[in-house]
Homo-oligomer: A and B are copies of this chain.
Amino acid sequence: MKLRLTPRETKFFAMFEQMCSTLQQGAETLHELLRDHGNVAVTVQRIKDIEHQGDELTHAVIRRLNQTFITPFDREDIHKLASSIDDVLDFVNSAAERMLIYKIEAPPKAAAELSEIIVRQSKELSTAVALLESKKENVINHCVEIKRLEGEADYIARKAIGSLFEHERDPIALIKLKEIYETLETATDKAEDAANVLESVVLKSA
Protein backbone atom coordinates (compact mmCIF):
# COMPACT_ATOMS: atom_id res chain seq x y z
CA MET A 1 0.00 0.00 0.00
CA LYS A 2 2.69 2.44 1.00
CA LEU A 3 4.52 1.82 -2.24
CA ARG A 4 1.46 2.80 -4.20
CA LEU A 5 0.79 5.91 -2.21
CA THR A 6 4.27 7.34 -2.15
CA PRO A 7 4.60 7.96 -5.91
CA ARG A 8 1.15 9.53 -5.91
CA GLU A 9 2.16 11.96 -3.21
CA THR A 10 5.40 12.78 -4.97
CA LYS A 11 3.41 13.63 -8.08
CA PHE A 12 1.84 16.70 -6.42
CA PHE A 13 5.26 18.15 -5.64
CA ALA A 14 6.39 17.60 -9.22
CA MET A 15 3.21 19.21 -10.53
CA PHE A 16 3.73 22.28 -8.38
CA GLU A 17 7.30 22.59 -9.58
CA GLN A 18 6.05 22.48 -13.15
CA MET A 19 3.43 25.14 -12.39
CA CYS A 20 6.08 27.43 -10.92
CA SER A 21 8.41 26.93 -13.85
CA THR A 22 5.57 27.81 -16.25
CA LEU A 23 4.80 30.88 -14.17
CA GLN A 24 8.44 31.90 -14.24
CA GLN A 25 8.49 31.60 -18.03
CA GLY A 26 5.37 33.79 -18.29
CA ALA A 27 6.81 36.39 -15.92
CA GLU A 28 10.11 36.51 -17.79
CA THR A 29 8.34 36.99 -21.11
CA LEU A 30 6.26 39.82 -19.62
CA HIS A 31 9.40 41.44 -18.24
CA GLU A 32 10.95 41.24 -21.71
CA LEU A 33 7.85 42.89 -23.19
CA LEU A 34 7.79 45.73 -20.67
CA ARG A 35 11.54 46.35 -20.81
CA ASP A 36 12.37 45.94 -24.50
CA HIS A 37 8.93 46.42 -26.10
CA GLY A 38 9.68 44.85 -29.53
CA ASN A 39 6.81 43.10 -31.31
CA VAL A 40 4.01 43.50 -28.78
CA ALA A 41 1.44 41.32 -30.59
CA VAL A 42 3.83 38.36 -30.92
CA THR A 43 5.06 38.54 -27.33
CA VAL A 44 1.54 38.89 -25.94
CA GLN A 45 0.51 35.78 -27.89
CA ARG A 46 3.48 33.90 -26.39
CA ILE A 47 2.37 34.87 -22.90
CA LYS A 48 -1.19 33.80 -23.70
CA ASP A 49 0.09 30.38 -24.78
CA ILE A 50 2.08 30.02 -21.56
CA GLU A 51 -0.99 30.99 -19.59
CA HIS A 52 -2.97 28.23 -21.33
CA GLN A 53 -0.32 25.72 -20.30
CA GLY A 54 -0.62 27.03 -16.76
CA ASP A 55 -4.38 26.53 -16.87
CA GLU A 56 -3.97 22.94 -17.95
CA LEU A 57 -1.49 22.24 -15.18
CA THR A 58 -3.88 23.74 -12.63
CA HIS A 59 -6.75 21.60 -13.87
CA ALA A 60 -4.51 18.53 -13.74
CA VAL A 61 -3.69 19.24 -10.07
CA ILE A 62 -7.36 19.68 -9.20
CA ARG A 63 -8.40 16.57 -11.13
CA ARG A 64 -5.74 14.55 -9.34
CA LEU A 65 -6.76 16.04 -6.01
CA ASN A 66 -10.32 14.88 -6.53
CA GLN A 67 -9.14 11.37 -7.32
CA THR A 68 -6.58 11.01 -4.54
CA PHE A 69 -7.52 9.81 -1.12
CA ILE A 70 -4.27 10.44 0.73
CA THR A 71 -2.54 13.71 -0.10
CA PRO A 72 0.94 14.87 1.00
CA PHE A 73 -0.60 17.88 2.76
CA ASP A 74 -4.05 19.32 3.43
CA ARG A 75 -6.37 18.99 0.43
CA GLU A 76 -7.53 22.53 0.94
CA ASP A 77 -3.96 23.84 0.95
CA ILE A 78 -3.17 21.97 -2.27
CA HIS A 79 -6.21 23.59 -3.84
CA LYS A 80 -5.28 27.05 -2.56
CA LEU A 81 -1.65 26.74 -3.62
CA ALA A 82 -2.61 25.67 -7.15
CA SER A 83 -5.19 28.47 -7.40
CA SER A 84 -2.84 31.18 -6.21
CA ILE A 85 0.02 30.17 -8.52
CA ASP A 86 -2.55 30.10 -11.34
CA ASP A 87 -3.75 33.57 -10.30
CA VAL A 88 -0.25 35.07 -10.57
CA LEU A 89 0.00 33.85 -14.16
CA ASP A 90 -3.54 35.08 -14.92
CA PHE A 91 -2.57 38.59 -13.89
CA VAL A 92 0.71 38.37 -15.81
CA ASN A 93 -1.36 37.51 -18.87
CA SER A 94 -3.88 40.20 -18.07
CA ALA A 95 -1.16 42.87 -17.92
CA ALA A 96 0.25 41.69 -21.24
CA GLU A 97 -3.18 41.72 -22.91
CA ARG A 98 -3.78 45.29 -21.75
CA MET A 99 -0.55 46.40 -23.44
CA LEU A 100 -2.06 45.22 -26.70
CA ILE A 101 -5.67 46.37 -26.22
CA TYR A 102 -4.61 49.79 -24.95
CA LYS A 103 -1.96 50.11 -27.68
CA ILE A 104 0.74 51.10 -25.22
CA GLU A 105 3.99 51.24 -27.13
CA ALA A 106 6.55 52.27 -24.56
CA PRO A 107 5.33 51.80 -20.97
CA PRO A 108 7.06 53.78 -18.21
CA LYS A 109 10.03 52.27 -16.39
CA ALA A 110 7.93 51.47 -13.30
CA ALA A 111 6.02 48.81 -15.28
CA ALA A 112 9.26 46.99 -16.15
CA GLU A 113 10.37 47.25 -12.52
CA LEU A 114 7.12 45.70 -11.33
CA SER A 115 7.39 42.84 -13.79
CA GLU A 116 10.97 42.22 -12.66
CA ILE A 117 9.64 41.78 -9.13
CA ILE A 118 7.15 39.19 -10.43
CA VAL A 119 10.09 37.33 -12.03
CA ARG A 120 11.96 37.36 -8.73
CA GLN A 121 8.90 36.17 -6.83
CA SER A 122 8.39 33.34 -9.34
CA LYS A 123 11.96 32.19 -8.85
CA GLU A 124 11.52 32.23 -5.08
CA LEU A 125 8.27 30.28 -5.46
CA SER A 126 10.04 27.67 -7.62
CA THR A 127 12.75 27.27 -5.00
CA ALA A 128 10.29 27.11 -2.12
CA VAL A 129 8.16 24.48 -3.84
CA ALA A 130 11.24 22.40 -4.70
CA LEU A 131 12.20 22.37 -1.00
CA LEU A 132 8.71 21.46 0.16
CA GLU A 133 9.08 17.71 -0.07
CA SER A 134 12.37 17.10 1.65
CA LYS A 135 13.70 20.34 3.14
CA LYS A 136 10.59 21.92 4.60
CA GLU A 137 12.59 23.88 7.17
CA ASN A 138 14.16 26.00 4.42
CA VAL A 139 10.87 26.98 2.77
CA ILE A 140 10.01 29.83 5.17
CA ASN A 141 12.96 32.05 4.18
CA HIS A 142 11.79 32.09 0.58
CA CYS A 143 8.25 32.90 1.66
CA VAL A 144 9.53 35.83 3.68
CA GLU A 145 11.42 37.10 0.63
CA ILE A 146 8.30 36.78 -1.58
CA LYS A 147 6.37 38.88 0.91
CA ARG A 148 9.15 41.45 1.14
CA LEU A 149 9.08 41.71 -2.67
CA GLU A 150 5.33 42.32 -2.55
CA GLY A 151 5.93 45.27 -0.24
CA GLU A 152 8.50 46.59 -2.70
CA ALA A 153 6.03 46.25 -5.59
CA ASP A 154 3.38 48.00 -3.54
CA TYR A 155 5.73 50.92 -2.98
CA ILE A 156 6.71 51.18 -6.67
CA ALA A 157 3.08 50.98 -7.84
CA ARG A 158 1.89 53.56 -5.35
CA LYS A 159 4.66 55.97 -6.34
CA ALA A 160 4.03 55.43 -10.05
CA ILE A 161 0.27 56.00 -9.68
CA GLY A 162 0.87 59.10 -7.55
CA SER A 163 3.15 60.48 -10.24
CA LEU A 164 0.55 59.65 -12.92
CA PHE A 165 -2.05 61.73 -11.09
CA GLU A 166 0.49 64.52 -10.74
CA HIS A 167 1.79 64.69 -14.30
CA GLU A 168 -0.58 62.94 -16.73
CA ARG A 169 -3.11 65.44 -18.01
CA ASP A 170 -4.79 63.06 -20.48
CA PRO A 171 -7.37 61.12 -18.42
CA ILE A 172 -7.60 58.26 -20.92
CA ALA A 173 -3.83 57.72 -20.85
CA LEU A 174 -4.02 57.90 -17.06
CA ILE A 175 -6.71 55.21 -16.91
CA LYS A 176 -4.66 52.90 -19.12
CA LEU A 177 -1.41 53.16 -17.19
CA LYS A 178 -3.09 53.09 -13.79
CA GLU A 179 -4.68 49.78 -14.74
CA ILE A 180 -1.39 48.33 -15.99
CA TYR A 181 0.29 49.20 -12.68
CA GLU A 182 -2.61 47.82 -10.66
CA THR A 183 -2.68 44.58 -12.62
CA LEU A 184 1.07 44.08 -12.09
CA GLU A 185 0.74 44.88 -8.41
CA THR A 186 -2.13 42.39 -8.06
CA ALA A 187 0.10 39.69 -9.58
CA THR A 188 2.58 40.28 -6.73
CA ASP A 189 -0.29 40.05 -4.21
CA LYS A 190 -1.24 36.66 -5.59
CA ALA A 191 2.39 35.50 -5.23
CA GLU A 192 2.17 36.59 -1.60
CA ASP A 193 -1.01 34.49 -1.24
CA ALA A 194 0.92 31.48 -2.53
CA ALA A 195 3.71 32.20 -0.03
CA ASN A 196 1.17 32.34 2.78
CA VAL A 197 -0.18 28.92 1.84
CA LEU A 198 3.34 27.48 1.73
CA GLU A 199 4.14 28.96 5.11
CA SER A 200 1.02 27.51 6.64
CA VAL A 201 1.77 24.06 5.13
CA VAL A 202 5.22 24.12 6.73
CA LEU A 203 3.98 25.36 10.11
CA LYS A 204 1.27 22.70 10.28
CA SER A 205 3.77 19.92 9.76
CA ALA A 206 6.32 21.37 12.22
| In the complex with contacts A165-B176, A174-B172, A158-B101 CB distance below 8 A | yes
Nearest residue (CB) in B for A174 is B172
Interface residues in A52-99 (C-beta closer than 8 Å to B):
62-63, 66-67, 76, 97
User: Closest B-chain residue to A169, C-beta based?
Assistant: B172
Tell me the dominant secondary structure on chain A's binding face: helix
Are B174 and A175 in contact, with the CB atoms below 8 A? yes
Residue A41 CB within 8 A of the other chain: no
Residues in B neighbouring A165, C-beta threshold 8 A? 101-103, 172, 176
Min Cβ gap A90→B in Å is: 11
For this chain, the copies found in one complex come to: 3
CB distance from A75 to the nearest CB of B (A): 10
- CB-CB under 8 A from A200, the residues of chain B are 62, 66
A23 to B97, CA, bound (A): 31
For residue A102, which residues in chain B have a CB less than 8 angstroms away from its CB? 162, 165
Listed in ascending order, the chain A residues whose CB lies under 8 Å from chain B are 62-63, 66-67, 76, 97, 101-103, 158, 161-162, 165-166, 171-172, 174-176, 178, 200, 203-204, 206
Beyond the given A66-B203, A66-B206, A165-B176, please list 20 additional residue pairs across the A-B interface where CB-CB is below 8 A. Answer: A62-B200, A63-B203, A66-B200, A67-B203, A67-B206, A76-B76, A97-B158, A101-B161, A101-B162, A101-B165, A102-B162, A102-B165, A103-B165, A103-B166, A165-B172, A171-B171, A171-B172, A171-B175, A174-B175, A175-B175
Task: Give 27 CB contacts A-B under 8 Å.
Answer: A62-B200, A63-B203, A66-B200, A66-B203, A66-B204, A66-B206, A67-B203, A67-B206, A76-B76, A97-B158, A101-B158, A101-B161, A101-B162, A101-B165, A102-B162, A102-B165, A103-B165, A103-B166, A165-B172, A165-B176, A171-B171, A171-B172, A171-B175, A172-B174, A174-B175, A175-B175, A175-B178
